[in-house]
Structure 1
Amino acid sequence: MLVLGVCSLKGGVGKTSVTLGLASAALERGLRTLVVDMDPQGDVTMSLGARPDEGDISDVLDAPSAESVASATVASTWAESGLDVLVGSERNARHDRLGDDDLDRLRFALSWVHDYDLVLVDCPPSLGSLTRTGLTACDRAMVVTEPGLFAVMAVGRAMRTIDELRRGPAPSLQPLGITVNRVRARSLEQAYRLEELGNLYGPLLLTPSVPERAALQQAQGAAQPVHAWPGAAAAELSGIFEALLERALRAPRR
């Protein structure tokens, strides 16, 4: 079971959109997938059509156990089976102030999870305890950015955070790489930032990049996987997310 964290230390770059694109690709591939919504905004939970039943991620972090995980896990409406959500909650914001001694709570909770091929952890767009807790549970971390000055600067902070966790509470964590989202073909500024990212991070800059396409937001607004959305743009995006997922699945794990 691969546990892949999707993170960004700058909001508004489409981190959750990338998580949903990967979930769509995993569903298309037939992988049994669990999406963990660590973000108190709960956008992944809403977009996956998951209706909270009894518990949520906040209860899991309060008391990690097989029972708390089971009560907080519900099926996505994207498919009849194969895609579940460990549902998010605004109540989870209080866990953003936990100390470093508590960063292993999600990892401990996932030790009871055995029925999946892939776990996607959608982290909040901040450098708080929730992001650190999410990444501590992961084998690999994907950093999402867009080709803009402030977003590129945030990539460096994210990569340093991953390295700090790897040297501390998460020795198995490794960076998968950097996914650039919302790329516009004719933007000179974006072309400059893409070159800058390539110079800074080399092979950690994942390809292909994700182009800016309205189809992605349309599919998410309708609570549908991008693979099920009609049109050439959706088909293009589907192929890109399949390639990024394949890169994650091929990454060596300890």
Structure 2
Amino acid sequence: MQIVSISSLKGGVGKSSVTLGLASAALQRGVKTLVVDLDPHADATTGLGVTADPEHHVGKILGRRGKPGSLSTVTVGSPWVENERTEHGRMGLRLDVAPGSSASSMFDRAQYKRSDLVKLDRAVDGLESDYDLVIIDCPPNLNTLTRIAWAASEKVLSVAEPSLFSVAGTQRTMTAIAQFERDTAWAVNSAGVIVNKVHPGSREHQHRVEELEELFGDLLVAPVLPDYRVWQRAQGAAWPIHRWPGVDAAEIAQRYTQILDGLLQPSS
């Protein structure tokens, strides 16, 4: 079971969008997937077509010590799966969501305790037979929730957009991951940078992508993700991009599939 955190220390870069794109690719590939929405705004939950229940959300698990595998008590299936079964006759698919909730805001603080960091790690322990992939959508800042996600993850993907401020934010994210490893007993096996919202033909964007390549080298994930309006329409409809019509949607979907395939390869 691969556990991956989608992070950024700068808001507005499309972190939840990347989570949804990878979830769409995983569904299309038949990869059994769980999305854990640690962002109190719960955008990934909404985008996956799930309405959080007052009794079933990730904050309920984080708020208590819990038992190994306890996250399964709050997970719900995404309607994306039922749509795939109904329209395309595909059986055996699994895409579940541990819904986000404002209740998680209790951990929206800089200071943390060691006992905080084990909460999600313990909650997903024992779910290996249920899922091939766990995607954690993190808040857009360096708080206890983000560190809880990193402690449970083998990989962290930092989302950047091709702008000066985002380049600086990505540097902060990668530095924070290294600092987290030095200050705690947890090690992140690998980290990478996904470049999102790239306008094809923009010289400024191309310059920023090249800058990110110089800064992060092999850590930069290929391919970059274009900023097409169709992606916003698909998200607004809470629909997987792999099932949205049109050439632009097909290109975005294909790029997410490439990223997913690379993500699922064992770390060297």
TM-score range, shorter chain: over 0.9
Residue by residue, what CA displacement relative to the aligned partner does 1:56-84 show, whole Å, maximum 9, x if unpaired? 11111112335742331111011134000
* Length, aligned pairs only: 253
Q: Does 1:60 align with 2:61?
A: yes
Q: Which runs of 5+ in 2 are unaligned?
A: 83-92
SS of the residue corresponding to residue 184 of structure 2 reads coil
Q: Aligned match of 2:72 in 70, 73, 77?
A: 70
Q: Does 1:185 align with 2:200?
A: yes
The aligned amino acid for 1:92 is S
Q: Does 1:213 align with 2:228?
A: yes
Aligned mates of 2:39, 2:11 — CA distance in 1: 11
Number of the residue aligned with 2:237: 222
The aligned amino acid for 1:212 is D
The aligned amino acid for 2:105 is A
Residue by residue, what CA displacement relative to the aligned partner does 1:112-140 show, whole Å, maximum 9, x if unpaired? 32310000000011111111111111000
- Taking only aligned residues, the RMSD between alpha carbons, in angstroms, comes to 1.5
Number of the residue aligned with 1:83: 95
Q: Does 1:154 align with 2:169?
A: yes
Aligned mates of 2:21, 2:57 — CA distance in 1: 23
Query: 1:1-254 counterparts in 2 under 5 A?
Result: 1-53=1-53, 54-63=55-64, 64-65=66-67, 68-80=70-82, 81-97=93-109, 99-101=112-114, 102-114=116-128, 115-169=130-184, 171-252=186-267
Aligned mates of 2:148, 2:69 — CA distance in 1: 20
2:107–2:143 contact (8 Å) kept in structure 1: no
TM-score of the superposed pair, with normalisation by structure 2: 0.90
Q: State the 1:222 CA deviation.
A: 0.5
Aligned mates of 2:69, 2:154 — CA distance in 1: 24
Aligned mates of 2:157, 2:140 — CA distance in 1: 13
SS of the residue corresponding to residue 177 of structure 1 reads strand
Greater mean alpha carbon deviation, residues 120-129 or residues 97-106: 97-106
Aligned mates of 1:68, 1:108 — CA distance in 2: 8
1:8–1:125 contact (8 Å) kept in structure 2: yes
Q: Which runs of 5+ in 1 are unaligned?
A: none
1:14–1:144 contact (8 Å) kept in structure 2: yes
The aligned amino acid for 1:33 is T
Q: State the 1:186 CA deviation.
A: 2.0
Identity %: 43
Q: State the 1:227 CA deviation.
A: 0.4
* Gap change, CA 1:158 and 1:68, over 3 Å in 2: same
The aligned amino acid for 1:208 is P
* Gap change, CA 1:121 and 1:205, over 3 Å in 2: same
Q: State the 1:89 CA deviation.
A: 0.1
Residue by residue, what CA displacement relative to the aligned partner does 1:38-59 show, whole Å, maximum 9, x if unpaired? 0000001111112334221111
TM-score of the superposed pair, with normalisation by structure 1: 0.95
The aligned amino acid for 2:80 is W
Greater mean alpha carbon deviation, residues 183-192 or residues 201-210: 183-192
Greater mean alpha carbon deviation, residues 98-107 or residues 201-210: 98-107
1:162–1:175 contact (8 Å) kept in structure 2: no
The aligned amino acid for 1:84 is D
* Gap change, CA 1:66 and 1:251, over 3 Å in 2: closer
The aligned amino acid for 1:62 is G
Aligned mates of 1:142, 1:100 — CA distance in 2: 24
